[in-house]
Amino acid sequence: MKKIIAAGALPLMALGLAGTAHASGFYLQEQSVRGNGRAFSGETADQGAASMWWNPAAIGGIRGCDGALGVSAILPRGNVNNLGTVIVRPGQAPAAVGGDAVSRNPITNGVLPSGGFACAITPRLSVGMNIGAPYAFETKYPTTSWARYTALQTKLRLYDLQPTIAFAVTPEISIGAGLNVHYAEATLSNALPQISPLLPGDGFQELKGNGWDVGYSVGAQYHKGPLQLGVGYKSAVKHTLTGTVTTSGLLGPLAAQNSTISTTANFSTPWQVNFGARYRVSPQVTLNAQAVRMGWSEFDAIRLGAPLNAAIPENYRDTWSFAGGVDYDISPKLTLRAGVQHDQTPTSNGNRDARVPDNNRWNFSGGASYNLSERFTIDAAATYIAIDDAVINRTTAAYAGTAAQTPILVNGSLTDAHAVVLSIGGRVHF
């Protein structure tokens, strides 16, 4: 007997803005408080443990030991609106999907820690470890939402451990490499329509899974006088999550499909290439620039293993982000910084659903650092993110490929979306 699949309602990683909405898609940039203060406009070219995530060469040639630790509170807001979504049950005319017409703030608030530590082994050789959560989020819709057949809860936690080694080839040139060891855990749920509108309530479907996978990072930096240049590459990571799909609450002819199935889900997080530059135009002022190419086309589909053997297309597209910023040393103790970033969304009209209420955005950031001593520095930053309105119009189908196939013709929108990110942390050197 063919088991139930709600195509589009089970995109294992249809990862939306989630509780951490600083970058497009489901990538989180908040891996450095210092970087957040200048909209991540110079991280690939800057030095020290605070920049190790973007470029493993950042710790090449350091002296002694260097560490950074930070935490970011991410406060997103936005409305997901129904503009006329209909459901088409077998043999019946299209009907309104019903439910609450507006879901307010489905993207939950989040707290994201980050940190790294590195030490020089010799004057040229350094090793370090970075810990972060570059992909993580949670969205929640009530069971009464118009979007319930597409999404109820979508939760992802992906933790990254990056052991790193770097070498100063010359006083001006450093190279570095690292592994990216990922542990991912996910929970996704959605409602399922009954085969007849006369049957009470909805069914329910939930997928849970977890797994370990590995990628890599490489990078190089050049430092000469007032100029700093950097390039870093992070590989795509192919993830395999092992878990279960549980279906419950179905009545009538579909009741036999209530069950728990063990399965796997495969997807890839994107590769990225980071280009960065910093130039000290005066003893007090440093200008920063950064461009990032994200290989989101790696996230082309979610592939569910046996016994489901289904592929759910995602059709993400590669993107660019561009950022510029400035650091201004007010005094030997106090540095102020600011930056602006424009970030493209990997989603597109016709492929965007309520799990991924994403669109292009502008990030406006400001921050400061205060040297409490020669060894310890406090960092703080704040960012306002303005997100463009977007259409949500990805058609889904419950029970796809069976006689009970029930299309959901989605017609919705994302409006008034924005977020505030507040970060605080510290850096130590000894």
Q: pLDDT tens, 35-75?
A: 999 999 999 999 999 999 999 999 999 999 999 999 999 99
Residues 6+ apart with CB under 8 A from 125: 165, 166, 167, 168
Higher pLDDT, 15 or 246: 246
Per-residue confidence band for 311, with pLDDT thresholds at 50, 70 and 90:
confident
Q: Is the pLDDT confidence value at 410 over 50?
A: yes
Mean pLDDT of the chain: 92
Displacement of CA 164 from its chain's centroid (Å): 22
**Residue 115 has what pLDDT?**
95
Closest CA to 24 of 76, 101, 87: 76
- pLDDT band (50, 70, 90) for residue 3: very low
Written as one letter, the residue type at 312 is I
Does position 22 have pLDDT exceeding 80, yes or no?
Answer: no
In angstroms, the CA 157 to CA 68 distance is 22
pLDDT score at 13: 28
Q: Where are the domains of the chain?
A: 6-429
Q: What is the DSSP string of 8-40?
A: TT--TT---STT--SSSTTB---S-HHHHTTTT
Q: What is the pLDDT of residue 136?
A: 81
148 neighbors 141 (Cβ within 8 angstroms): yes
Residue of 326, 406, 397 lying closest to 368 (CA atoms): 326
Q: For 254-265, what is the mean pLDDT?
A: 95
Please choose, from the candidates 300, 192, 213, 214, the residue with its C-alpha nearest in 3D space to the C-alpha of residue 264: 213
Residue 17 in this model has a pLDDT that exceeds 60: no
175-193 burial: b if 16+ Cβ within 10 Å, else e: bbbbbbbbebbbbbbbbbb
Q: Is the pLDDT of residue 87 over 60?
A: yes
Residue linked to tokens 């989605």: 410
Most confident of 1-10, 160-169, 342-351: 160-169
Checking if the pLDDT of 6 tops 90, the result is: no
Structure tokens at 423: 């970060």
Which of 230 and 157 is assigned the larger pLDDT?
A: 230
| Cβ–Cβ < 8 Å for 321, 23 | yes
Find the mean pLDDT for residues 203-212: 96
Backbone phi and psi for residue 14, each to the nearest 5 degrees, phi listed first: -75, 75
Tell whether the model's pLDDT for residue 19 goes beyond 70.
no
What percentage of residues in the chain have a pLDDT greater than 70?
95
pLDDT band of 372, cuts 50, 70, 90: very high
When pLDDT is averaged across residues 234-255 and rounded to a whole number, the result is: 96
Cα separation values, 4 from 10, 80, 88, 193, 258, Å = 11, 27, 17, 12, 9
The pLDDT, as a whole number, for residue 180 is: 98
> Residue 192 pLDDT more than 80?
yes
pLDDT of 295 > 50? The answer is yes
6-429 folds as Porin (2.40.160)
Report how far residue 99's alpha carbon sits from residue 140's, in angstroms, rounded to the nearest whole number: 15
C-beta of residue 158 within 8 angstroms of C-beta of residue 173:
no
The pLDDT, as a whole number, for residue 4 is: 38
